Each structure stands twice: as C-alpha cells, then as structure tokens.
Amino acid sequence: MCGIIGVCALNRNVTPIISLGLRRLEYRGYDSVGIAIVSGDGLIIRKAKGDVDSFLSKFKVEELSGLTGLGHTRWATHGPPSDVNAHPHTDCSGRIAIVHNGVIRNYNTIKRVLELRGHRIASETDTELIAHLIEDEMPFSSSFFEAFVRAISRLEGSYAIAVINVEEPNRIYFARMKSPLIIGLGEGFNIVSSDIPALLDYTRRVIVLEDGELGWVTATEVKLFKLTELGLIRVEDDDLSTRVRFIEWSVEEASKQGFPHFMLKEIFEQPYSIKSTYEGNVEDPALRMAASMLWSSRNIIVTGAGTSYHAGLVFSYYLSRIARRLSYNIIASEHKLIEDSVGKGDVVIAISQSGETFDTLEAVRAFKARGARVIGVTNVVGSALSRESDVVVYMRAGPEIGVAATKTYTSQIMSLSLLTLFAALEGGVLDRSEVEDKLVKLSRAHEITAKAIEESLKHVPENPLVGSKSIYMLGRGLGSLIAREAALKVKEIAYIHAESYPAGESKHGPIALVEKGFPVYFVATSDSPEIAGNVMEMRARGAHVTIVKTSNWRLDVEPGDSVEIVEIPLEDSEILLEPYPLIPYFQVLAYRASVARGYNPDKPRNLAKTVTVE
C-alpha cells in the first residue's frame, strides 16, 4: 500500500539512494512513482503513472542531484492512478512536498475547509490536502514544525508521512499513525522509509516508529516526539538509542539473485526458510511461553488475512487433531462477528507475515480491548503486530518481496506446527518422547520441500491452464485447507477464477457448473481417502481432473484420459509433514500460468504486498 522513502545526507547525492529505495519498495505499490529533491532554493519534482524502471529512465532521475529528497511508489486509494495523482504533492506555493501512505478519513471535511480558505487543490488525493494544511497553519505557527504538528493533529485515519520544505533544505519531517514507518541510521545520512528492504543496502540500524510519533531527521540527528491528548512529548535521545535495532536480513535476501521474479526465487528459498523457522523456534522460550498461554486459555481464536488466514486454518486443524484443542478461525476483517463473545481468559493467535496488515491489527486491538491476550506470529521484527502482542513467535523466513506469499506460508505452517506440539506437551496430550519423535520428523520438512519443488517443476506444464477461465481446487480434511491457498495463488497472479470449497460440498451445489473439460484440481491428503468418491463424481461429469497427492498412501482411483495423478514423494505418514510436498506444486502452477499469460507475478494488478488500509 504505497512505499515511501526520504533521505537526508551530509555530503552525498541522495538520488541514487532514493532510486534504489524505490526499486526495493515497488512491491508495496506500483501504479505510479515520484520523487522530490531539494535543490538551490526550489524543489525538483518528477512524477508519473507507471512503474519504477520506466519512471527512472524517462526522467533520467539518476542525473538529478541534491542532499535531501523524497520518493514514493503508489497503490491508489484516493483518485485513480495518473500523473497528477502520483506523489509527491505540494502546497499552493510549491515550497512544501509530501509523500504519504495511508488513508485520511476526514478528507471531505478538510477539502471543503481548504477550498473555502482559497487553496487550489490540483489532484484527487487525500495526500495533497496535508501539504495545504501545513501551508494553512504556517501563519499561526512560530516554526514549520509547529505548523506540521498542527496539521497532523487535524488528520483522522492512517498515515505514514514524509515532508520536505525549501526553507529547511536539510530536514525531513515525518509522522506515523497506523501505517508503517521506520528510520534507518547511517553515517552522515538518515533514511525514513516504509520498510526494511529500502534501506538494507545502506544501513541495518533502524528505529521502528510507533503510532502517534512524529519528528524530523537531518543527516546527523533524529528528533522524535509523541503526539498525545496532553500535547507533544519529546522522546529523549537516551530512550531513542535504546530503540535502535539491528536488522539481520541481508541485501542478497532482498534481491532477485538472477531469478526472473522474486516469487520464483522465494519458492526456491523454501527449504532454507523452513529450516530457519524450525531451528530458530524449536528452542525459543517464546514458543514455550506461547504454548503454555495457549493451553491455559479459555477460548482460542485464530485470525489473519489471505494466506495468513489460510495458515491459521491448518493450525486449527493440527490443534484439534494433535493437541485436542478446539479453536475458532475468523478472517481479520470480520472480527466484529465474534468480538462480543471474546474476553478475559481468551487467547488470540494473530498471524501476519508483515505484521502491518490493517485488518489484522484492528482485530487484535478489538480482542485486546475485551481482555484477550495475543500471540503474534510474524516475519518482521519490530512490526506493529510484534509490538502489540503479548508473546511473539517469529517466522524467521527472511524477507518476502513477491506479492504472492509463498515461503512465508510454509514458514507460518512450520511455526504453528511447533506451537501445536508444545501446546500438546503442555496439556499432557503428548508425552515428551512423542513430541520429540514428531520434532525429528518436522526437522526434515526442508528436505521434503526441496524434493517437492524439483518434482513440481517436472510435473507442472510450462504453459498450464491454457484457455481456462474458471477452475475448482478441492480437497477434504487437510487437503481442503491447502486447496484454499492454492486457489488464492492462481487467482491473484494468473487472473483465473479459481474456486475452492471442501470437495464433499460439490453435490450440494457447485457441481452444477461442471461440464466436459472443466478443470478440477484435487489436493488429496492421507487423512481423507474418501476423496476418491469426489473424484469419481467429477470424472462422471466429464471434468478434467488433476489429483496431486503424496506417495505415502494409496488413493483408490485409476488414472485415465481425463484423470491425471501427480504423486509427490513423502515416505512418512505424519500429517504435520503433508503440506510441504503439496504446496510447491500449486505455487509453481500459479507462477507458470501467470508468466505464460504474459503477467508479472511479482506485481499482480490491484494488489500490494502489505495492506495497510481498511
């Protein structure tokens, strides 16, 4: 949902840092791009609809020079993608420039007031209003900072903002409310950014800002304040230095390393990310603490969005089957459906790769407000979810840049499987030797995944789903949960309507759509051999059936003209292991279908990696 970057340097040109930052942030939004550089006594602004590479070459951005500047990649909310709606935006005088990620809720009220006061609004964005608001407050303020604070106080909604003004060419003002913003500390420069990958090439030392914080950076200092109901409170420098974190992700991890797309690279990285999740969590006291919290809870609520919600479904199944605990899954944006019955004694497992998904954070806040405690499962150290959770389980999957979640899904399943086992141990449902036995098996998940990727590359055609407009992806038991994720992958990057429902439901309605040649994929797992009947009913109606199963059990179906069986090696009968051989097939399927249709799987239309709006 938009990427912002701002750089202040002492004696180096900031445009290369901003340009690289824009490339690294493009996964957050890619409908338009812009840059503002302070130069002489004015601002140089370049912006356009389109992607980062075309923008940088069209405007020869790397030839621009300055010591302070801003950059922005946009995912449109207020106003469609266009040159004029691209950020940065300016006030009437053109001396203040702003970039923003978020949504200003009181847009209409502010706009009316500003227009009455004579401001000329050029774009349809909510962002531009903030530049005019600052300008509007200037006559009533003793400094630019005071005008900035007064303007910010008038905003409702979510924002991560960076602002420059020609009167103070060596400063970037910033503010955060419900949209991520971090500060990267360099030697002779400082960076304000939406996310870690934008600054990894230059520094690993970061301060993660909290809601309500604002301030400014120069090349050598950071001044931070908290806007409270009582006014502005200064965050002392000593307190600030205790908040500096060292980021362990490497630049290589956040770049394509010769792969044509991040998504393919991240599919291939799964053996490493799964191993890292296992090894990083198996001895981690946080996981034990989470398990004990879980076990002693009254109700267990599992929440998240998209892929993270799907990982939560697998978790609930494991919890029930292995730890014998019932849990309740709720899509984060629908938390209102159950929040009135959530309270003290309940535990919420909130799953979010980014830890910044608006819907998930809102669900967490609603449940916490009613007395529930929260276990956050996230990949990003310092993310909002990690800060708002009582206990945090880190996925340790390394950065995921492709918009389609791949390696974080398998790492979520791994961390949640470990949580299940320790919860079962805590509750005495499994004894230590049973848990250790299963841990030994899980420690091999990375090898199983490596083999599965190799097999999937062999089995998935180079140009799959040719001519398909609509498909079913079905399963029973664990397979039905994996099929939901498979269908999401196909929808979001190959733009093919892929519907997933538990296979037993076919006869209750959806089978009416099936006619000769209709593609149906089955994710067949060993817990549900009865899926054979569902395959037969589809076959009888002429569907084109592909069954993807593991080799550790026998399915009573013979392959034939319209029934293909793909068997991925798995020797063990452990249910905790079954997602690893199966999911890569569908990741590769979606990836190849997307590329064969001429799409860019890293930048699916209408989507952004981290959804920080309501």
State the Cα–Cα distance between residues 312 and 303, nearest whole angstrom: 7
State yes or no: residue 73 binds ligand M6R (CB under 6 A).
no
Least distance in angstroms from the C-beta of 261 to ligand M6R: 14
Among 407, 489, 491, 609, the active-site one is 609
Are the CB atoms for 313 and 480 separated by under 8 Å?
A: no
Contact track, ligand M6R, 164-203, x by CB under 6 A: ----------------------------------------
> Whose Cβ is closer to ligand M6R: residue 182's or residue 425's?
182
> Whose Cβ is closer to ligand M6R: residue 300's or residue 384's?
384
**Residues of this chain, 301-320, that bind ligand M6R according to CB under 6 A:** 305-308
Q: What is the DSSP string of 110-134?
A: HHHHHHHTT----SS-SHHHHHHHH
Least distance in angstroms from the C-beta of 488 to ligand M6R: 6
State yes or no: residue 360 binds ligand M6R (CB under 6 A).
yes
* Choices 19-27, 352-360, 425-433, 560-568 (CB under 6 A): range interacting with ligand M6R: 352-360
> Whose Cβ is closer to ligand M6R: residue 405's or residue 520's?
405
* Choices 57-65, 216-224, 347-355, 525-533 (CB under 6 A): range interacting with ligand M6R: 347-355
State the Cα–Cα distance between residues 453 and 6, nearest whole angstrom: 39
Q: For 282, list phi and psi in degrees, rounded to 5.
A: -60, -30
State yes or no: residue 490 binds ligand M6R (CB under 6 A).
no
Q: What is the DSSP string of 518-554?
A: -EEEEEE-TT-TTHHHHHHHHHHTT-EEEEEEETTS-
Least distance in angstroms from the C-beta of 50 to ligand M6R: 22
Among 127, 165, 194, 352, binds ligand M6R (CB under 6 A): 352
Among 2, 407, 438, 603, the active-site one is 2
**# binding residues, ligand M6R (CB under 6 A):** 16
Among 165, 329, 333, 357, binds ligand M6R (CB under 6 A): 357
Least distance in angstroms from the C-beta of 82 to ligand M6R: 25
**Residues of this chain, 492-511, that bind ligand M6R according to CB under 6 A:** 492
**Residues of this chain, 382-421, that bind ligand M6R according to CB under 6 A:** 403-405
Q: Give residue 355's region: left, alpha or beta (phi > 0; psi -120 to 50).
A: left
Which residue's Cβ lies closest to ligand M6R? 306
- H-only helix segments in 183-258: 237-242
Contacts of 316 (CB under 8 A, 6+ apart): 302, 327, 328, 329
**Residues of this chain, 101-160, that bind ligand M6R according to CB under 6 A:** none
Single-letter amino acid, residue 584: P
Least distance in angstroms from the C-beta of 561 to ligand M6R: 34
State the Cα–Cα distance between residues 577 and 568, nearest whole angstrom: 12
First to last CA, the chain: 11
Crossing angle of helices 432-442 and 407-426, rounded to 10°:
170
- Quick check: is 92 catalytic? no
Crossing angle of helices 144-153 and 127-137, rounded to 10°:
130
State yes or no: residue 611 binds ligand M6R (CB under 6 A).
yes
> Whose Cβ is closer to ligand M6R: residue 165's or residue 360's?
360
| Partners of residue 565 on adjacent β-strands | 547
State the Cα–Cα distance between residues 453 and 346, nearest whole angstrom: 39
> Whose Cβ is closer to ligand M6R: residue 102's or residue 306's?
306
- Quick check: is 438 catalytic? no
> Whose Cβ is closer to ligand M6R: residue 34's or residue 402's?
402
**Residues of this chain, 438-467, that bind ligand M6R according to CB under 6 A:** none
| Partners of residue 105 on adjacent β-strands | none
State the Cα–Cα distance between residues 315 and 577, nearest whole angstrom: 13
Contacts of 58 (CB under 8 A, 6+ apart): 48, 50
Are the CB atoms for 524 and 548 separated by under 8 Å?
A: yes
Are the CB atoms for 412 and 281 separated by under 8 Å?
A: no
> Whose Cβ is closer to ligand M6R: residue 403's or residue 452's?
403
> Whose Cβ is closer to ligand M6R: residue 305's or residue 570's?
305
Least distance in angstroms from the C-beta of 381 to ligand M6R: 14
State yes or no: residue 354 binds ligand M6R (CB under 6 A).
yes
What is the CB-side half-sphere exposure of residue 143 using CA atoms within 13 A? 5
Are the CB atoms for 418 and 287 separated by under 8 Å?
A: yes
> Whose Cβ is closer to ligand M6R: residue 396's or residue 544's?
396
Contacts 24+ apart (CB under 8 A), 500-507: 500/472, 500/473, 500/474, 500/475, 501/472, 501/474, 502/474, 502/475, 502/476, 503/474, 503/475, 503/476, 503/479, 503/531, 503/534, 504/476, 504/534, 506/474, 506/534, 506/537, 506/538, 507/537
Q: Which residues form the catalytic set?
A: 2, 609
Chain residues in the site for ligand M6R (CB under 6 A): 305-308, 352-354, 357, 360, 403-405, 488, 492, 610-611
